[in-house]
Structure 1
Amino acid sequence: MINGSKRLSRPLRWAMVGGGVNSQIGYIHRSAALRDQSFVLVAGAFDLDPARGQAFGETLGVAPERCYADYQSLIAGEAGREDGVEAISVATPNGTHFAITKAALEAGLHVVCEKPLCFTLAEAEILREIAQAHNRIVGVTYGYAGHQLIEQAREMIAAGQLGEIRMVHMQFAHGFHSAPVEAQSEATQWRVDPRLAGPSYVLGDVGTHPLYIAETLLPGLRIKRLQCNRQSFVKSRAPLEDNAYTLMEYEGGAMGWVWSSAVNAGSMHGQKVRVIGSLASLEWWDERPNQLSFEVQGQPAQVLERGMGYLHANALLDDRIGAGHPEGLFEAWSNLYYRFALAMDAANRGDTAALAQIRYPDIHAGIEGVRWVERCVESADRGGVWIDY
């Protein structure tokens, strides 16, 4: 990957729904998708305000007639073109994800969707059925999973270097919403509105990120049951939580814990995943994504660095510059977007063997995120009882 060579014979024609001028995440979607010549942006419905959306789309180089008022007109308009879009990214508030993704899949388009994929497990299963019926790819933007040292940790765990896995500690606990900032921030308002955000705030918004990383590191670990407590420390956010603790029991006896929070005052990001085994522990912190802590009982602690030759080959595949130069979230998202493109291309060609070799946050990962949030909310709303997963 360091040399930036093309991975596909041609870029996929791509559109965005959402991601307009005031979007918090629109630019990182575009930067990631366009970076490796895997996608080319040809259309979009960028904004609830059609005029503002068209003006913004034109600044991105999209033809005026392909800047649409809404996702329905985008899908219909592109379906009538020989050069119509092949994939769309959904970068809109949570409450719209299901309808947009469903419509795109039914139109034969591949989809990259923000998390959560939808509100309910029943909706998620519908999306899976449609995607499978149309042989379409659904990617979910668990962007932190694109960091290379996640691959290193996965390989070390699989090789038995940690011994028997006993505990998994996960957290994503920042402090930027420790006050009611939504009063001044339009981008935050919908996140604390149940009509737009769904049944949870921080469980779905931040908690599912380290959960997916843990699932990547430990693909054989299955949740047996969980117990959740959630709080609304900023009272106006109720019934949605701005802090939650989830305790999980895995099949086989290992235990897991997730702290999801937007009110960890003073914390910049606070996303960490620590896997503890009978012999050693690993810890990854997204504020220092180029380092992986490896601590063997009775030995000096080690810090493994991105890009070094002592790492597993899979941890070096996605490097974009040599060791010593820090890489960040834009690189991680780019790694996922080119995997999305490879998967879409393989699906288009009917190459099931190639598709099986590409690991990325797919429809199944999206479903598990929805399942986890649904179970957490059920447990919390029933007084923090244990819920079978």
Structure 2
Amino acid sequence: MINGSKRIPQPIRWAMVGGGRDSQIGYSHRSAALRDQNFALVAGAFDINPERGLEFGITLGVDPERCYPDYLSLFEQEAQRPDGIQAVSIATPNGTHYAITKAALEAGLHVVCEKPLCFTVTEAETLREIALAKNRIVGVTYGYAGHQLIEQARQMIAQGELGEIRMVHMQFAHGFHSAPVELQNESALWRMDPRVAGPSYVLGDIGTHPLYISEVMLPDHTIKRLMCSRQSFVKSRAPLEDNAYTLMEYEGGAMGMVWSSAVNAGSMHGQKIRVIGSRASLEWWDERPNQLSFEIQGQPAQVLERGMSYLHANALIDDRIGAGHPEGLFEAWSNLYYRFALAMDATDRNDSALLTTLRYPDIHAGVEGVRWVERCVQSANQGGIWIDY
């Protein structure tokens, strides 16, 4: 079911903080936000270097007068304009997320923020309190959750097709940092610096992605306790880890495991989730996002394909092209930005009914991502003991 008009009535006036020319993720934000014309990029503080940010903003078609030297100037001066921004995306290093998100919310703006939202649960709870008090939307870019077959898995699990859920195996384990690449790559270096990256590297940078996907697939499964072991195989990265194993026990007795790694040599991406029930299992792999494996014990394995009519209706609503054509990460990100736009527009119109039907990585998902990383670090730093969640 292809919906060729994913539009809200009026585009949201939007800005970016960060995401400049050399940003690893800035282009993904712009491609996703602008694809359906639900956002209009009208301002920004694109670079820590004001001159470089101005030059880049002009190449994007932004009015030079609305290319600001820093985020505080952006928020203050846009608030004085009748056509000022309504929302901002934050695509900056981790250590800046809390201050920028807090300032944006206090300025009355909707926010889309890279994960992690911040470094501590205390900070995350503060952001949630402000967002709720200001009635502002906060979206977190767990972009892979925009793939349609994640919703298919959610529906199959809810309908009992797997039976009683016993195990959830998750991994995001690539090999691109199996050597100390940060010595030649500044965009990688900050991810291994605790002053900028925070209390973890791979747990917060990639481990929270499959964790959020599991929360989408299994909304009724809450973590009871966890234990974590983390390693710095490239020794110069200590105290931050480049590999970690997390074992989790859910309320109700199911078990979960997350392997987070940047040193899985030879692996291109390695993000997978396998949900195992008493009757059947399913598995999704982000390198083959258009297929969902479904394996019933004692029967031939099946591969469910994106876009096919046998899928649940909720797994078809985000299709952008027909079945057989491969959709990828830009489409998944665009699906999330479309939902962010719907949520922002509904909030501004006080449409609470629509808000209750929308699923997207919101402020609560952001808080839980921070909580999970914090608990993993606590466990690992105490020798890998069980920590109550």
Secondary structure of the 2:104 match is: helix
Q: Which residue of 2 aligns with 1:260?
A: 260
Is 1:353 the counterpart of 2:340 in the alignment?
A: no
Matches within 5 A, 1:156-175: 156-175=156-175
Is 1:366 the counterpart of 2:343 in the alignment?
A: no
Q: Which residue of 1 aligns with 2:204?
A: 204
Q: Which residue of 2 aligns with 1:141?
A: 141
Q: Note the C-alpha offset of 1:221.
A: 0.1
Q: Which residue of 2 aligns with 1:5?
A: 5
Q: Give the partner amino acid of 2:374.
A: E
Secondary structure of the 1:22 match is: coil
Matches within 5 A, 1:46-65: 46-65=46-65
Secondary structure of the 1:292 match is: strand
Q: Note the C-alpha offset of 1:37.
A: 1.2
State how far apart, in whole Å, the 1-side matches of 2:8 and 2:178 are: 45
Count of matched residue pairs: 389
Is 1:335 the counterpart of 2:335 in the alignment?
A: yes
Query: CA offsets, 1:265-308, max 9 Å, x none?
Result: 00000000000000000000000000000000000000000000
Among all aligned residue pairs of Structure 1 and Structure 2, give the percentage whose two residues are the same amino acid. 82
State how far apart, in whole Å, the 1-side matches of 2:152 and 2:129 are: 33
Give the TM-score, by structure 2 length.
0.99
State how far apart, in whole Å, the 1-side matches of 2:312 and 2:257 are: 28
Q: Note the C-alpha offset of 1:353.
A: 1.1
Matches within 5 A, 1:307-322: 307-322=307-322
Q: Give the partner amino acid of 1:98.
A: Y
State how far apart, in whole Å, the 2-side matches of 1:94 and 1:38 are: 27
Q: Which residue of 1 aligns with 2:377?
A: 377
Secondary structure of the 2:162 match is: coil
Contact 2:3/2:317 (<8 A) preserved: no
Give the TM-score, by structure 1 length.
0.99
Secondary structure of the 1:308 match is: coil
Matches within 5 A, 1:234-253: 234-253=234-253
Matches within 5 A, 1:149-160: 149-160=149-160
Contact 1:4/1:36 (<8 A) preserved: no
Q: Note the C-alpha offset of 1:6.
A: 4.3
Secondary structure of the 2:307 match is: coil
State how far apart, in whole Å, the 1-side matches of 2:223 and 2:9 are: 41
Contact 1:113/1:138 (<8 A) preserved: yes
Q: Which residue of 1 aligns with 2:296?
A: 296
Matches within 5 A, 1:96-107: 96-107=96-107
- Over 3 Å counting, the alpha-carbon distance change for 1:155 and 1:82 in structure 2 is same
Q: Which residue of 2 aligns with 1:21?
A: 21
Secondary structure of the 2:151 match is: helix
State how far apart, in whole Å, the 2-side matches of 1:241 and 1:334 are: 31
Contact 1:174/1:261 (<8 A) preserved: yes
Q: Which residue of 2 aligns with 1:286?
A: 286
Q: What's the C-alpha RMSD, in Å, of the aligned pairs?
A: 0.6
State how far apart, in whole Å, the 2-side matches of 1:147 and 1:243 are: 26
Secondary structure of the 1:221 match is: coil
Secondary structure of the 1:155 match is: helix
State how far apart, in whole Å, the 2-side matches of 1:36 and 1:209 are: 24
State how far apart, in whole Å, the 2-side matches of 1:290 and 1:238 are: 37
Q: Give the partner amino acid of 2:55.
A: A
Q: Note the C-alpha offset of 1:5.
A: 1.2
State how far apart, in whole Å, the 2-side matches of 1:258 and 1:358 are: 27
State how far apart, in whole Å, the 1-side matches of 2:50 and 2:287 are: 37
Q: Note the C-alpha offset of 1:108.
A: 0.3
Q: Give the partner amino acid of 2:234.
A: V
Q: Which residue of 1 aligns with 2:132?
A: 132
Q: Note the C-alpha offset of 1:236.
A: 0.3
State how far apart, in whole Å, the 2-side matches of 1:323 and 1:4 are: 15
Is 1:120 the counterpart of 2:129 in the alignment?
A: no
Q: Give the partner amino acid of 1:8.
A: I
State how far apart, in whole Å, the 2-side matches of 1:25 and 1:290 are: 22
Secondary structure of the 1:84 match is: coil
Q: Note the C-alpha offset of 1:4.
A: 2.6
Secondary structure of the 2:132 match is: helix
- 5+ residue gaps, structure 1, are none
Secondary structure of the 2:387 match is: strand
Q: Give the partner amino acid of 2:381.
A: D
State how far apart, in whole Å, the 2-side matches of 1:303 and 1:33 are: 31
Q: Give the partner amino acid of 2:328.
A: G
Contact 2:149/2:289 (<8 A) preserved: yes
Secondary structure of the 2:125 match is: helix
Q: Which residue of 1 aligns with 2:41?
A: 41
Q: Give the partner amino acid of 2:102.
A: K
Q: Which residue of 2 aligns with 1:85?
A: 85
Contact 2:3/2:319 (<8 A) preserved: no
Q: Give the partner amino acid of 2:178.
A: S
Query: CA offsets, 1:103-135, max 9 Å, x none?
Result: 000000000000001000000000000000100
Q: Note the C-alpha offset of 1:2.
A: 2.9
- 5+ residue gaps, structure 2, are none
State how far apart, in whole Å, the 1-side matches of 2:133 and 2:311 are: 40
Q: Note the C-alpha offset of 1:7.
A: 2.2
Secondary structure of the 2:111 match is: strand
Q: Note the C-alpha offset of 1:77.
A: 1.0
Q: Give the partner amino acid of 1:106.
A: E
Q: Give the partner amino acid of 1:371.
A: R
Secondary structure of the 1:327 match is: coil
Q: Give the partner amino acid of 1:363.
A: I
